[in-house]
Amino acid sequence: MTRGGEAALHAFVEGRRTALFRSAYLLCGNRDEAEDLVQTALVKVVLGARRHGRLENLDAYARRTLVNTFIAGRRRFWRRERAYGELPDAPQPLPDNDTGLMVRAALAGLAPKQRAVLVLRYWEDLSVAATAELLGMRESTVKSHTARGLAALRAAVREEHV
């Protein structure tokens, strides 16, 4: 790879790291795990860009790598390392009126692919077609994951309010 290509790759990584972290946080629901996910995905993106030369859409490649790494990590849950700084004596209750925490908790209860579809559709603001292409699934599957995921989110938020 040329120096110009390396510089462009470095600029991409620096420019997109925060946006990828936000998506990763919504996928994982944990700041430390999201940072690890972004780091792993960016390493894969850099290695892929060096191996294949110039990639046509580096942003889409990075997003797809992030989501695929997340889903693959959820499939192999027995191999994943779970690190905890200090274990709490008891779980902290969620504040009653903090909607963001409630939605993130409900999002964490979804299946990984449903969560990925909702994050890509509503956080990344991708179309159904773009989400389907990114995840390698049919548009009808994206629509059904979206409908079921939103129904589960609504039910979880409704239960929390009651």
Characterize 116-143 residue by residue with b for buried, 16 or more Cβ atoms within 10 angstroms of its Cβ, and e for exposed: bbbbbbeebebebebbbebbeeeeebbe
45 token code pair: 């993106």
121 Cα distance to chain centroid: 11
Instruction: Name the more confident of 74 and 15.
Output: 15
Please tell me the least confidently modeled range out of 2-6, 112-116, 120-124, 127-131: 2-6
| Complete DSSP assignment for 57-125 | -HHHHHHHHHHHHHHHHHHTTTT-----SS--SSPPPPPTT-HHHHHHHHHHTS-HHHHHHHIIIIIS-
Instruction: Look at residues 62, 72, 84, 79 and name the one whose alpha carbon lies nearest to residue 11.
Output: 62
Characterize 29-67 residue by residue with b for buried, 16 or more Cβ atoms within 10 angstroms of its Cβ, and e for exposed: beeebbebbbebbbebbbeebeeeeebeebeebbbbbbb
pLDDT confidence of residue 130: 92
Can you tell me the distance from the alpha carbon of 108 to that of 105, in angstroms, rounded to the nearest whole number? 5
pLDDT at residue 157 tops 70: yes
pLDDT tens digits, one per residue of 84-112? 667 666 666 655 556 777 778 888 888 99
Can you tell me the distance from the alpha carbon of 143 to that of 156, in angstroms, rounded to the nearest whole number? 20
Instruction: Name the more confident of 90 and 13.
Output: 13
Other C-beta atoms within 10 Å of 17: how many? Answer: 15
pTM of the prediction?
A: 0.56
pLDDT confidence of residue 19: 92
pLDDT at residue 139 tops 90: yes
pLDDT confidence of residue 73: 81
Across the range 60-88, mean pLDDT stands at: 76
Q: Give residue 8's pLDDT band: very low, low, confident or very high (50, 70, 90).
A: confident
pLDDT confidence of residue 87: 65
